[in-house]
Amino acid sequence: MNIITWNVNGLRAALKKGVLSWITEQSPDTLCLQETRVLPEQLEEGQRSVPGYEIIWNPAEKKGYSGVSTWTKETPQEVMLGMNEPRFGSEGRVIRTRYPDFYLYNIYFPNGRRGHERVEYKLDFYETLLATCDALQAAGESVIITGDFNTAHNEIDLKNHKSNQKTSGFLPEERAMIDRYLEHGFVDPFRHLYPEKEQYSYWSSRGNARANNVGWRIDYFLVSENLLPRVQDVIIHDDVLGSDHCPTELIIL
């Protein structure tokens, strides 16, 4: 099966740029969208429902902000919106779906912001999710986490790592959270398959960053270690336009 994750930076704007044609052509088994910034009722009928997919929405309470959506060909065994923590429930950041042999998390992780005013909130979000995933894995379950992590893990994951040492998204404490997930039984399959590959999934809209490939890899898949033998490939579709992020695809048996 293949799973595609994509921060679309506003679904209505992305649809106007033709992203639905690319999605239809790729026909992923599951599509995880982040930063949809829309309520389902704000979309046209042909955008709210796509043939062959069950579409799950978790919009933020604040209009035009955040939001995630999971499109799936296979009806999940169960669906959970958000996490069991009220302060993380209003921003529409999490959809968890259960399939026969794994749980799938579609997540738009918080941004720590330029002034670092939300870094603590972001780290608490990471910790809360990790505790839940620890419990699932301890119970023998397998987990796939995907989405916009809003953190570049290592220097290879962003072009200008030297000048971003004090920028949220590359702070030591944020990067350490990715380390914690890897220490708790998760693997970054892209980096496992391509340990020296410099490829990015996000580019700032300023300074011709995308044209000059001055980017960040912040859109990930993390998979439970026992799923790693099933991973066939992870593809960053950096030639696909329509957002300041590009789609990333996991192919798994």
**What does residue 133 show for φ and ψ, rounded to 5 degrees?**
-65, -35
CA angle 133-37-56, nearest 5°? 55
Which one of the listed residues 134, 148, 233, 244 is annotated catalytic?
148
In the block, which residue shows the tokens 């993380």?
A: 88
- Residue 190, classified by CB atoms within 10 Å of its CB into exposed (0-12), middle (13-18) or buried (19+), is buried
Decide: 245 and 205 in contact? Cβ < 8 Å. Answer: no
Q: Write the single-letter amino acid at 44.
A: E
Tokens, residue 202: 């996000």
Whether 148 sits among the annotated catalytic residues: the reply is: yes
Strands (E), 115-218: 143-148, 186-187, 202-203, 215-216
d(CA 6, CA 223): 17
d(CA 141, CA 132): 11
Active site residues: 148
